[in-house]
Structure 1
Protein backbone atom coordinates (compact mmCIF):
# COMPACT_ATOMS: atom_id res chain seq x y z
CA UNK A 1 0.00 0.00 0.00
CA UNK A 2 1.38 3.33 -1.00
CA UNK A 3 0.03 6.39 0.74
CA UNK A 4 0.25 9.83 -0.74
CA UNK A 5 2.91 11.92 0.95
CA UNK A 6 1.35 15.27 1.63
CA UNK A 7 3.76 17.88 2.90
CA UNK A 8 2.32 20.97 1.27
CA UNK A 9 -0.01 21.60 4.19
CA UNK A 10 2.61 21.82 6.90
CA UNK A 11 3.96 24.90 8.56
CA UNK A 12 7.62 25.55 7.84
CA UNK A 13 9.93 26.52 10.66
CA UNK A 14 13.65 26.95 10.80
CA UNK A 15 15.67 25.02 13.39
CA UNK A 16 19.37 25.52 12.92
CA UNK A 17 20.30 22.50 15.05
CA UNK A 18 19.42 20.24 12.11
CA UNK A 19 21.41 22.28 9.59
CA UNK A 20 18.49 22.72 7.21
CA UNK A 21 14.87 23.82 7.11
CA UNK A 22 12.44 21.69 9.02
CA UNK A 23 8.68 21.37 8.74
CA UNK A 24 6.12 20.46 11.36
CA UNK A 25 2.71 18.86 11.33
CA UNK A 26 0.22 17.45 13.80
CA UNK A 27 -0.87 13.91 13.14
CA UNK A 28 -2.20 10.67 14.52
CA UNK A 29 0.17 7.74 14.29
CA UNK A 30 -1.28 5.07 11.97
CA UNK A 31 1.62 2.62 12.23
CA UNK A 32 4.69 1.29 10.48
CA UNK A 33 3.41 0.33 7.03
CA UNK A 34 5.51 -1.00 4.12
CA UNK A 35 8.74 0.45 5.52
CA UNK A 36 7.35 3.88 6.42
CA UNK A 37 6.09 5.58 9.56
CA UNK A 38 2.59 6.77 8.65
CA UNK A 39 0.72 9.66 10.29
CA UNK A 40 -2.74 10.98 9.41
CA UNK A 41 -3.69 14.64 9.75
CA UNK A 42 -7.08 16.05 10.80
CA UNK A 43 -8.25 16.13 7.17
CA UNK A 44 -7.46 12.46 6.60
CA UNK A 45 -4.30 12.92 4.53
CA UNK A 46 -1.52 10.43 5.23
CA UNK A 47 2.12 11.44 5.48
CA UNK A 48 4.84 8.81 5.19
CA UNK A 49 8.25 9.17 6.77
CA UNK A 50 10.84 6.66 5.59
CA UNK A 51 13.56 7.65 8.06
CA UNK A 52 13.78 8.52 11.74
CA UNK A 53 16.72 9.88 13.71
CA UNK A 54 18.34 7.68 16.35
CA UNK A 55 17.30 10.09 19.12
CA UNK A 56 13.63 9.82 18.17
CA UNK A 57 13.83 6.04 17.64
CA UNK A 58 15.35 5.62 21.12
CA UNK A 59 12.55 7.67 22.71
CA UNK A 60 9.59 6.27 20.74
CA UNK A 61 9.42 2.65 19.56
CA UNK A 62 7.23 3.33 16.54
CA UNK A 63 7.64 -0.26 15.30
CA UNK A 64 5.43 -1.43 18.17
CA UNK A 65 1.66 -0.94 18.45
CA UNK A 66 2.09 1.16 21.61
CA UNK A 67 1.74 4.56 19.87
CA UNK A 68 -0.86 3.69 17.21
CA UNK A 69 -3.77 6.14 17.50
CA UNK A 70 -1.74 8.65 19.54
CA UNK A 71 -1.43 12.33 18.57
CA UNK A 72 2.00 13.82 17.84
CA UNK A 73 3.59 17.02 16.68
CA UNK A 74 6.11 15.82 14.09
CA UNK A 75 9.17 17.82 13.08
CA UNK A 76 10.80 16.55 9.91
CA UNK A 77 13.13 17.31 7.04
CA UNK A 78 12.67 16.44 3.38
CA UNK A 79 15.64 15.51 1.19
CA UNK A 80 15.74 14.75 -2.51
CA UNK A 81 17.48 11.53 -3.54
CA UNK A 82 17.81 9.44 -6.68
CA UNK A 83 16.02 6.10 -6.79
CA UNK A 84 17.17 2.96 -8.63
CA UNK A 85 15.85 4.42 -11.92
CA UNK A 86 17.82 7.66 -11.39
CA UNK A 87 14.58 9.55 -10.78
CA UNK A 88 14.37 12.15 -8.03
CA UNK A 89 12.27 11.19 -5.03
CA UNK A 90 11.56 12.97 -1.78
CA UNK A 91 12.64 11.24 1.41
CA UNK A 92 11.21 12.51 4.71
CA UNK A 93 13.01 12.02 8.03
CA UNK A 94 11.45 12.53 11.45
CA UNK A 95 13.86 14.57 13.57
CA UNK A 96 11.61 15.28 16.58
CA UNK A 97 8.35 13.97 18.05
CA UNK A 98 6.28 15.56 20.79
CA UNK A 99 3.14 14.19 22.39
CA UNK A 100 0.65 16.84 23.56
CA UNK A 101 0.08 16.91 27.29
Structure 2
Protein backbone atom coordinates (compact mmCIF):
# COMPACT_ATOMS: atom_id res chain seq x y z
CA UNK A 1 0.00 0.00 0.00
CA UNK A 2 2.83 2.39 0.88
CA UNK A 3 4.53 1.84 -2.49
CA UNK A 4 1.21 2.43 -4.27
CA UNK A 5 0.87 5.80 -2.53
CA UNK A 6 4.42 6.74 -3.49
CA UNK A 7 3.81 5.83 -7.15
CA UNK A 8 0.53 7.78 -7.12
CA UNK A 9 2.22 10.86 -5.58
CA UNK A 10 5.07 10.80 -8.11
CA UNK A 11 2.62 10.36 -10.99
CA UNK A 12 0.45 13.28 -9.90
CA UNK A 13 3.50 15.46 -9.24
CA UNK A 14 4.84 14.85 -12.73
CA UNK A 15 1.57 16.08 -14.27
CA UNK A 16 1.76 19.50 -12.68
CA UNK A 17 3.81 22.43 -13.94
CA UNK A 18 6.63 23.62 -11.74
CA UNK A 19 7.78 27.21 -12.15
CA UNK A 20 11.41 28.09 -11.83
CA UNK A 21 12.48 31.05 -9.78
CA UNK A 22 12.10 34.51 -11.22
CA UNK A 23 15.06 35.93 -13.12
CA UNK A 24 15.88 39.52 -14.08
CA UNK A 25 17.64 40.98 -17.11
CA UNK A 26 18.01 44.27 -18.97
CA UNK A 27 17.03 44.39 -22.64
CA UNK A 28 15.64 46.61 -25.39
CA UNK A 29 12.10 46.00 -26.60
CA UNK A 30 11.92 45.11 -30.32
CA UNK A 31 8.15 44.60 -30.62
CA UNK A 32 5.39 42.01 -30.64
CA UNK A 33 6.36 39.61 -33.43
CA UNK A 34 4.69 36.28 -34.30
CA UNK A 35 2.75 36.20 -30.99
CA UNK A 36 5.91 36.79 -28.93
CA UNK A 37 7.25 39.78 -27.01
CA UNK A 38 10.76 40.22 -28.45
CA UNK A 39 13.69 41.87 -26.66
CA UNK A 40 17.40 42.16 -27.43
CA UNK A 41 19.95 42.08 -24.62
CA UNK A 42 23.22 44.04 -24.44
CA UNK A 43 25.08 41.29 -26.31
CA UNK A 44 22.65 41.34 -29.23
CA UNK A 45 20.90 38.11 -28.25
CA UNK A 46 17.20 37.98 -29.13
CA UNK A 47 14.91 36.86 -26.30
CA UNK A 48 11.24 35.99 -26.84
CA UNK A 49 8.58 35.83 -24.15
CA UNK A 50 5.28 34.01 -24.65
CA UNK A 51 3.20 35.83 -22.03
CA UNK A 52 3.01 38.91 -19.84
CA UNK A 53 1.29 39.11 -16.47
CA UNK A 54 -1.95 41.08 -16.13
CA UNK A 55 -0.10 43.65 -14.03
CA UNK A 56 2.45 44.26 -16.80
CA UNK A 57 -0.12 44.40 -19.59
CA UNK A 58 -2.18 46.92 -17.60
CA UNK A 59 0.84 49.25 -17.36
CA UNK A 60 2.50 48.72 -20.78
CA UNK A 61 0.83 48.17 -24.16
CA UNK A 62 3.53 45.95 -25.61
CA UNK A 63 1.45 45.01 -28.64
CA UNK A 64 1.66 48.61 -29.87
CA UNK A 65 4.76 50.46 -31.05
CA UNK A 66 5.08 53.05 -28.26
CA UNK A 67 7.75 51.11 -26.33
CA UNK A 68 9.76 49.74 -29.29
CA UNK A 69 13.42 50.72 -28.84
CA UNK A 70 13.02 51.36 -25.09
CA UNK A 71 15.30 49.78 -22.50
CA UNK A 72 13.63 47.72 -19.75
CA UNK A 73 14.51 45.76 -16.65
CA UNK A 74 12.56 42.51 -17.10
CA UNK A 75 11.56 40.07 -14.39
CA UNK A 76 10.40 36.74 -15.78
CA UNK A 77 9.74 33.07 -15.13
CA UNK A 78 10.32 30.07 -17.36
CA UNK A 79 7.98 27.09 -17.05
CA UNK A 80 7.86 23.79 -18.87
CA UNK A 81 4.47 22.45 -19.93
CA UNK A 82 3.19 19.63 -22.09
CA UNK A 83 1.53 20.53 -25.38
CA UNK A 84 -1.32 18.61 -27.03
CA UNK A 85 1.19 16.05 -28.38
CA UNK A 86 2.69 15.52 -24.91
CA UNK A 87 5.85 17.33 -26.02
CA UNK A 88 7.53 19.48 -23.39
CA UNK A 89 7.58 23.15 -24.35
CA UNK A 90 9.15 26.16 -22.67
CA UNK A 91 6.78 28.97 -21.69
CA UNK A 92 8.33 32.25 -20.58
CA UNK A 93 6.26 34.92 -18.83
CA UNK A 94 7.17 38.53 -18.04
CA UNK A 95 6.08 39.09 -14.45
CA UNK A 96 7.59 42.56 -13.97
CA UNK A 97 8.74 45.34 -16.27
CA UNK A 98 10.45 48.61 -15.39
CA UNK A 99 11.91 51.39 -17.50
CA UNK A 100 15.15 52.72 -15.98
CA UNK A 101 15.12 56.41 -15.15
Q: TM-score range by the shorter chain?
A: 0.7 to 0.9
Q: Larger % of helix: which?
A: 2
What is the TM-score with the length of structure 2 in the denominator? 0.78
Equivalence for 1:48: 48
Equivalent residues of 2:20, 2:79 under 8 A apart: no
Q: How does 1:17-96 map to 2 (within 5 A)?
A: 21-96=21-96
- How far does residue 83 in structure 1 lie from its aligned partner after superposition? 2.0
Ranked by relative contact order (alpha carbons within 8 Å, sequence separation 6 or more), the top structure is 2
Larger radius of gyration: 2
Aligned residues: 83
Q: Larger % of strand: which?
A: 1
Task: For structure 1, list consecutive stretches of 5 or more residues without a partner in the other structure.
Answer: 1-18
Between 65-74 and 82-91, the greater mean CA deviation after superposition: 82-91
After TM superposition, where is structure 1 displaced by more than 4 Å over at least 4 residues in a row? none
Task: For structure 2, list consecutive stretches of 5 or more residues without a partner in the other structure.
Answer: 1-18
